[in-house]
Structure 1
Amino acid sequence: MKKRRESDLVRQRVSARRSLNLAQSPRPYCHEKTGASLKRAFGRTILPAPVSLSFFDEAYDPFATFLKKLSAAASTGRVLIDMQPVKSVKTAALLVLYATIERLQSTCQDKLIIKTTCCSSKEVSMVFRTYGIWNLTSESRTRPAAGFPNSLSICTMSNEAHRRKDQTELRKVLKYTQKAILQSDMDEGGLLAYNAITESISNVWQHAYDDSFFSTPVPDAHKNWWIIVQHVGDQFFIAVYDMGAGIPATISKKPWAAAIIESISAIFDVKVISSPDAKSIKAAIDYGKSRFKLDNRGKGLTEAKDFVQRNPEGSLLIYSGLGHYEYKTQGDDESLETLSSPFLGTLIQWNLMLEKKDEAENHD
């Protein structure tokens, strides 16, 4: 047996003292501690996901911070997103996360730049399976197989496909959308859905990635936009997202913008005067029906609003820059808000409640 030295006894006493102090005054673990470095495993930076993947209300800041950390971590190497903390997922936030991962894969030229851990929530796991997150991260084989039936994965539309007039992804979205809406009592719903989605995408193609809004032109490989559709029960959601210049930036160069924004400032509460980006979004919507309109362009957001106005419980959400716009058919209510941090690109989301035709007839 090896003879113990005096130094061994000293180390033992120090270790025992530290253990006793820690037991008496435990230090809480906090991965968000200022200045704390992220942990690493298997050559990857571990990034904990927020409890709620959402940018509605109080969830906006944690989710926005998470996306910034994800991009920063990916710029220095591969990343492992810890999905264990996630308890809930919103459709639009999932779309933005998907787009962010796909953009990082393209920017870093590494399809394996982002990996994830398994989700602790079965429902969250089903959402990830259904909408293609694990297919995107090449983890589909090692993840639970269950997903929501009769659903469509997130669709990516590229600039290259648009130039080739390849509308395969768009047709899938429109077919799914029209099938859901035409089964409801929403008159002309299928046509309105087609107009709203195609006009929104047309606006992306014309404006979102215009080189004049960027100090360095956006590479063609990064000029993408993403669509997600979800029909569960009587609830239906559509969201279109791009990572372009954003509505406030693109509308600022329009000769008619100043007059419409001025009229909006006169109508809305004084407290939104500090929200120029939100007013810019509303101006873009109002332009389609205003006396300032001189051509047949810029109908996209007007069509988007027309779509939800035909639904008694519909809403339209738009995020861009520092602006958040929301319209609800109930009460014909519009609200403009200022975000705490800039939203990259533009997200347009329609929320509808669809009632089946036979059920609507029974209520009459």
Structure 2
Amino acid sequence: MKRPKFARQAIVQRIGARRTQQERVRRINYLARKRAQSYASPIRGPFDTKLRREVVPVPEILDLGQNRQATLAIARTCRENCFLHRRSTVLDFTHTKKISSAAVLLLVAEIDRCRRLAGESMLTGTYPKDKKLHGQMRDSGFFEALHVKAKLDGAEKKYPMEYIKVVSGDEADGRLARALRLKLLGPYDVKVAQEAKSSFFRSLSEAMTNVSQHAYPEDTLHRKIRVVPKGWWMLGHINKLRSELKVMIVDQGIGIPRSLPRKHTLEVINDALSQLGVIKPTDGQMIKAAMEVGRSRMRQDNRGKGLNDLKKLIQACGSGRLRILSNRGEYIYTEGGKERLQAYDDSIYGTFIEWTVPLQAILPFLEDDRDEND
């Protein structure tokens, strides 16, 4: 018996829907495999039966630009071993030759989080063969984070950086920002009146405040990978060869792309995105949108707002660079108003801010920016 026409059509529609669903599932699985290949997979190492720890080989170069994936892979290894697998780990730096300042701060923050929340016995490390790197890890606070005693004394310094060790906290602290200025400027501080209060260090206090208020919402604190509530880590140094001042701050919060919708209405965000000409923004474009929102608020309130205050000083100095990494996005601002955006497949799981200015450019600005109440 021949089926009625409408019955045949219904069967064809069901078969078509089934095929469409299968194609959709195959496409989702394909994209998931493709993303997994580009993600920072954890680095595995041999298990030392005497130490009862996994010995993870650290790559030769750790850097958030040149070797981003390997750097994030080490951070992910620390997280997963400490919180998911409960596996004691030794980071083996024997063959490591270079660690950028940005990678130092990101990894020290990760190591500090793991040791504080998973247990001090869960994570430690070894020494690099390279003496220059050994001195950098000693002076930046890397060894202290690992609870490893440096072998070389200060006389072995063979690099042009004058570091302050990584400092951390969970609240905005203006006193810390001022102490940071004294430590960073060192002998240059005699050129700056003690009561000087720069936009640079005022912005650091603003960055701490932003972390405390927006980076760690209550509904995101209860996870398998735990966080230090409101935690931030800061590192600074002067490159004496380049006469350059650099300060970095990192947090392990939800990131600017996720915090922006919590801070501002959809109308305000869409207005900022419309200026960029995008509908479905990347994380890099969301960071840029956050800058646009802050710029409009700065015009309304006639004062600096966080990250835009950092841009303002770069403009005043006529030189420098502001770099923001948040989740899968990157935003770079340089003198002359040049901006560059980047989107990545892997996430740093937080926000990293790096600000670089020539030392000679910032000193006159510091001297002119006085505040009697400081």
TM-score, L = length of structure 1: 0.75
Deviations 1:323-343 (A, max 9, x none): 1000111x4210011012012
Letter of the 1:323 partner, please give it: G
How big is the shift at 1:307?
2.5
Please give the residue correspondences for 1:1-364 in structure 2 after superposition, counting only pairs within 5 Å.
38-41=45-48, 42-56=51-65, 58-75=66-83, 76-108=86-118, 110-140=119-149, 143-146=151-154, 151-159=163-171, 169-177=176-184, 191-213=198-220, 221-233=228-240, 234-253=243-262, 254-255=264-265, 256-265=268-277, 275-290=281-296, 299-329=305-335, 331-355=336-360
Change (3 A) 1:347 1:220: closer
How big is the shift at 1:200?
1.2
Change (3 A) 1:333 1:182: farther
**Alpha-carbon separation, structure 1, partners of 2:230 and 2:309:** 23
**Alpha-carbon separation, structure 2, partners of 1:111 and 1:305:** 39
How big is the shift at 1:167?
5.6
**Alpha-carbon separation, structure 2, partners of 1:106 and 1:214:** 15
**Alpha-carbon separation, structure 1, partners of 2:275 and 2:319:** 28
How big is the shift at 1:169?
3.9
How big is the shift at 1:190?
5.1
Change (3 A) 1:274 1:123: farther
How big is the shift at 1:151?
3.2
Deviations 1:334-357 (A, max 9, x none): 001101201211010001222389
**Alpha-carbon separation, structure 2, partners of 1:59 and 1:131:** 20
TM-score, L = length of structure 2: 0.73
CA contact (8 A) 1:61 1:340 kept: no
**Alpha-carbon separation, structure 2, partners of 1:97 and 1:35:** 14
Letter of the 1:191 partner, please give it: S
CA contact (8 A) 1:209 1:245 kept: yes
Change (3 A) 1:220 1:66: closer
Q: Which stretch shows the higher mean deviation, 297-306 or 80-89?
A: 297-306
Unmatched 5+ stretches in structure 1? 1-33, 267-272, 360-364
Deviations 1:23-56 (A, max 9, x none): xxxxxxxxxxx99962022111111112212111
CA contact (8 A) 1:178 1:193 kept: no
**Alpha-carbon separation, structure 1, partners of 2:297 and 2:361:** 38
How big is the shift at 1:206?
1.1
CA contact (8 A) 2:47 2:54 kept: yes
**Alpha-carbon separation, structure 1, partners of 2:248 and 2:90:** 27
Identity across matched positions, percent: 22
Change (3 A) 1:145 1:36: closer
Letter of the 2:352 partner, please give it: L
**Alpha-carbon separation, structure 2, partners of 1:79 and 1:296:** 51
How big is the shift at 1:73?
2.3
How big is the shift at 1:96?
0.6
Residue 345 of structure 2 aligns to a residue whose secondary structure is strand
CA contact (8 A) 2:43 2:73 kept: no
Deviations 1:285-313 (A, max 9, x none): 22222169766999111112112223333
Match of 1:11 in 2: none
CA contact (8 A) 2:141 2:166 kept: yes
How big is the shift at 1:102?
0.6
Matched residues, number: 309
**Alpha-carbon separation, structure 1, partners of 2:203 and 2:289:** 17
How big is the shift at 1:283?
1.7
Deviations 1:45-89 (A, max 9, x none): 111112212111x41111112211222223322111110221111
How big is the shift at 1:106?
1.8
RMSD in angstroms over aligned alpha carbons? 3.4
Change (3 A) 1:298 1:236: closer
